[in-house]
Amino acid sequence: MRLGPDYVYQCPDCGEKVLQMDVQSVYSFGCSFYSDQRMDGPMFYSPAPICRCKKCNHIYWLDHRNQTGSYPVLSEAPEKEAIPRAETPTLKDYFDAIHQKAFHSKMELTYLRKKIWQTGNRLLASKTPLPSGCSRNDLLQNMQELYLLVPDINENHKLMKAELARNMGDFESCRELLDYIIDREYEETTSRILDECFRENTETILLWEDKIPC
Ligand SMILES: [Zn+2]
């Protein structure tokens, strides 16, 4: 994995700065892959593209629009050390980003709704209580909105819509969508999700694990 640089981003509302490390590539060794397209693992790091400003609470995108500079990862310059690192967004941050209308395109809104779906699934699977102000009904409503946002362009979209339908308990739509997936590459995943559909299971499942080589 090639790390760096550390980018500096500035809150567009109050000017407060944060640091976030970029990555050039990611190892999937030891990763777990879930049916909601979530990927978790000890060596997996993916910089979050949004951040809640600690000073003014504004949520903004960590991209070229708000980037003001960079430092090499190994730099210990005092001015760099003084800048706090961006924190990983929470479920509430993603919901608030939508409420604050912090998105500028359908792609950004889709990203936020997908993160709510996946983060909600992770919390429910680990039996972690949902944060105050976020209910199961909010998660369900988000799935309905996400379902409408995702197009039917490729197999990946169809698989994602099928999984959303299953999570929402619409097993018939799930089976119909899976029928349209013909690429052999998706055969095993499609079959696993279809099994869960027949069992009328609405929960996200672990699809496979990439074992760390010994
Ligand atoms: Zn701010």
Q: Which among 107, 214, 202 has a CA at the least distance from the CA of 162? A: 202
From the CA of 66, how far away is ligand 1's center (Å)?
A: 12
From the CA of 17, how far away is ligand 1's center (Å)?
A: 8
Confidence check: pLDDT of 28 > 90: no
From the CA of 15, how far away is ligand 1's center (Å)?
A: 6
Query: Both ends of the chain: CA-CA distance in Å?
Result: 19
From the CA of 104, how far away is ligand 1's center (Å)?
A: 18
Report d(CA 87, CA 52) in Å as an integer. Answer: 8
From the CA of 55, how far away is ligand 1's center (Å)?
A: 5
Is the Cβ–Cβ distance between 33 and 74 less than 8 Å? no
Report d(CA 18, CA 9) in Å as an integer. Answer: 5
* Average pLDDT along the chain: 93
From the CA of 114, how far away is ligand 1's center (Å)?
A: 25
Confidence check: pLDDT of 214 > 60: no
In the chain, pLDDT over 70 holds for what percent of residues? Answer: 97
From the CA of 14, how far away is ligand 1's center (Å)?
A: 4
The per-residue pLDDT for 130 is: 94
The CATH code belonging to domain 107-209 is 1.25.40
The per-residue pLDDT for 72 is: 95
The pLDDT of 42-50, averaged and rounded, is: 86
From the CA of 126, how far away is ligand 1's center (Å)?
A: 32
The per-residue pLDDT for 1 is: 66
From the CA of 205, how far away is ligand 1's center (Å)?
A: 38
CATH 1.25.40 residue ranges in the chain? Answer: 107-209
Confidence check: pLDDT of 26 > 80: no
From the CA of 60, how far away is ligand 1's center (Å)?
A: 9
Report d(CA 178, CA 167) in Å as an integer. Answer: 14
The per-residue pLDDT for 213 is: 60
Higher pLDDT: 160 or 29? It is 160
Report d(CA 51, CA 164) in Å as an integer. Answer: 26
From the CA of 110, how far away is ligand 1's center (Å)?
A: 24
From the CA of 33, how far away is ligand 1's center (Å)?
A: 35
Is the Cβ–Cβ distance between 100 and 122 less than 8 Å? no
Report d(CA 122, CA 58) in Å as an integer. Answer: 25
From the CA of 121, how far away is ligand 1's center (Å)?
A: 29
